[in-house]
Amino acid sequence: MKKRKILYISMSIPYDNVPHAGGKTFNYYINGFANDIDNEVTMIAKVLPEEEHQIENINPNINTIIVRTPKNKVKKYISYIKSLNSKINPLYRYGNVLTKEIFNQIGNELDKLKNTGYVPDIVILEWTWMLLFIDQVKKRFPNAKYIASEHDVSFLGAQRQYENAKGFKKIYKKLYYNNLYKREILSINKCDYVVTHNAKDKKLLLKNGVEQSKLGVIVPYINLPEQVARKNINKNILFYGAMNRIENEISAEWFIKNVMPEIKDTGAKYVILGHSERRAYYGETVAILEEKVKLALANGLTPIFCIGEVLEEREANKQNEVVAAQMESVFSLSAEDFSKIVLAYEPVWAIGTGKTATPEQAQEIHAHIRSLVAAKYGQEVAENTSILYGGSCKPSNAKELFANPDVDGGLIGGAALKAADFKGIIDAFK
């Protein structure tokens, strides 16, 4: 029997433990298609530099074609400036994660596929931004059925930003919103079918003229059965999604005012800030994190502030410079407030990769971090500051890592999900 040929075009690669909700949903469904013997799945996907090591974890049943943004920061910004989808251009900001260079790369890969005789039966444009490609894909494969996976209705977020903006910013946001609305609705109407990820977005698209016959809803995949099943606690809160998005400011504000006090009453004390994934995926800057740290302290929470370098920076021996720059987010604090926070060094190149900093490497960078604190606040504050290690710590290496004088403990990720592994790490302190 002839296999169904499915072509995915995505802004992200699918892999297990992807750190964002949309990615988890995408990973679940594309693997379902790829593991079905009746399907032949080809994917063209953009990969971020920090996700390069995850390419090997993509399902081997997926014929994967990778496109990349420039690693060099200067080249990357030049690419943005040259792009019609530049962040600085409100008329073309829709799809700002996609530069002209990426557009051209994907176009070239589509041509290569076509020249081999490849003809897809179904084209799935995964993520809202990929709708931008519908014209150039249709030009090459006019007879395919086109499906849009609308993880978000992006113009709604733009509308909220516009309505809440003031002054010149309101004019800018209005241009952005008007253009986005026009381009998103136009692209959706060119698809044969559109999948939203909640009923609310389906209703919104219906209201804006999209035909009901081409609209459907899929429920995001949640792999948290043990959390969903918990019934022995007075208050069960399960949030699946991202409250950190700009368009969710109103809901986040409501959550902080109405829910956070109840959470604090249950004993919540800590908040993790500056995690590498937040810096990479959400562009959290020194200034943004400085504000978040101060907000956490003002609300009685203890920030666990993460710092650390990516592989490229480690190989260039720039780890000391990197952590020093990241520490600027907390060095505006008074000595009294700084003494309330916890630092966590996380070598990004060792998170989820199986690689681990040697005990010697961990001690060296931890000692450097403590020296930065001493230079800013004095030796007493530095000695009393807890600096945790957070890079693939496991029972087999915990004792050696924690034996270092400047490693005060661990920020445990994956190993904490397995009781035996977590206990093994705890036992390393004995």
The Cα 427–Cα 412 span in angstroms is 14
The secondary structure element, H or E, covering residue 23 is helix 21-34
Query: Is 366 a residue of the active site?
Result: no
- Of 126, 275, 284, 366, the catalytic one is 275
Among left, alpha and beta (phi > 0; psi -120 to 50; other), residue 4 is beta
Adjacency order of strands within the sheet including 270-273 = 270-273, 302-307, 342-345, 387-389, 409-410
- Of 50, 284, 346, 366, the catalytic one is 346
Q: CA distances (Å), 209 to each of 161, 181, 182, 200, 253, in order?
A: 22, 12, 12, 15, 31
Three-state DSSP at 302 gives strand
The Cα 23–Cα 238 span in angstroms is 18
Query: Is 360 a residue of the active site?
Result: no
Task: Answer for the pair 146, 190: CB distance below 8 angstroms, yes or no.
Answer: yes
Beta bridge partners, 259, equal none
Beta bridge partners, 116, equal none
The catalytic residue positions are 275, 346
